[in-house]
Amino acid sequence: MPQKSENLINFRFVEDLIYSFNGSAHLKDLKSGKYIFSNEINALNVGMNKPADLYGLTVRDLDRQMQQNWGDLAARIESFENQLRHQYTIILDDQQLSILPCGDLAIHNMKKYPLLNSKNKIMAIVTLSELVTHQFNIFQQLEFYLTFYQSQGKKFAIQQFLNYLHIAIYFTELPTLAELRILLFKSRKSTAKAIAAQLFISPLTVETHLKRIRDKIKIDINSLIEHLNNPQP
């Protein structure tokens, strides 16, 4: 009876932690890999309407519908959790990339904690993931998009990045990667000379790229930059 009480207190503490965590959080049974608890943020991130929809599923169950958004994330999660079967340690995975159901790239710092029973045996895994996308500047975010969509090619990555910035609708033709980078510098009020120095190209090359951007958009470039700096979903 004392063991039951102790485990109940542990689970209640973990459940409260998961529900109150300001990020994605869940608890899984170690043996089966099935979700036991989840907060709402985690459920929404994996395309579920509510936490209870996750209960009894495994990461492979979710991967069948989220694989396009996850890449190799499910395999990495399984690898981490297999480590926890043999190690009494915290697993860290910073800058974890995935695509949210809305289509935006998400960058998370993830931690996995083993939950021990009264016999000091690991019985479950607590996962806490902090969304850190906003901690990276727009140039770094572009590089993350290029990395995540590497297999689909640069054009696809650029299209997804423009969607993320809510400016894709203003283009009649996709910008090249060089043009996009110059647009991002231009949005930071950089002059052609300053952009040239940053990219190790000539000011004339910068102006040429800016002209090509103007030829590919439906609105003037200053309005485009205004939309870029003040996105409206």
Output the pLDDT for position 8.
Answer: 41
* More confidently predicted of 184 and 60: 184
* pTM of the shown model: 0.76
Question: CB of 52 within 8 A of CB of 35?
Answer: no
Cα separation values, 94 from 91, 130, 132, 143, 180, Å: 10, 9, 9, 16, 27
Residue 5 confidence (pLDDT) above 70: no
Question: CB of 162 within 8 A of CB of 179?
Answer: no
Per CATH, 2-135 and 138-229 having the same topology is answered no
Architecture of domain 2-135: 2-Layer Sandwich (3.30)
Residue 7 confidence (pLDDT) above 50: no
Architecture of domain 138-229: Orthogonal Bundle (1.10)
The mean pLDDT of the chain is 87
Residue 140 confidence (pLDDT) above 70: yes
Three-state DSSP at 1 gives coil
- What whole-number percentage of the chain has pLDDT above 90? 52
Residue 105 confidence (pLDDT) above 90: no
Domains of the chain, by residue range, sit at: 2-135, 138-229
β-bridge pairing 105-116 and 24-29:
unpaired
* More confidently predicted of 83 and 67: 83
Residue 83 confidence (pLDDT) above 90: no
- What whole-number percentage of the chain has pLDDT above 70? 93
Output the pLDDT for position 118.
Answer: 79
pLDDT per position as a tens digit, 182-222: 999 999 888 899 999 989 999 999 999 999 999 999 999 99
Output the pLDDT for position 3.
Answer: 37
Residue 1: pLDDT band by 50, 70, 90 thresholds? very low
Residue 104 confidence (pLDDT) above 90: no
Question: What is the average per-residue pLDDT within 119-147?
Answer: 91
Output the pLDDT for position 176.
Answer: 97
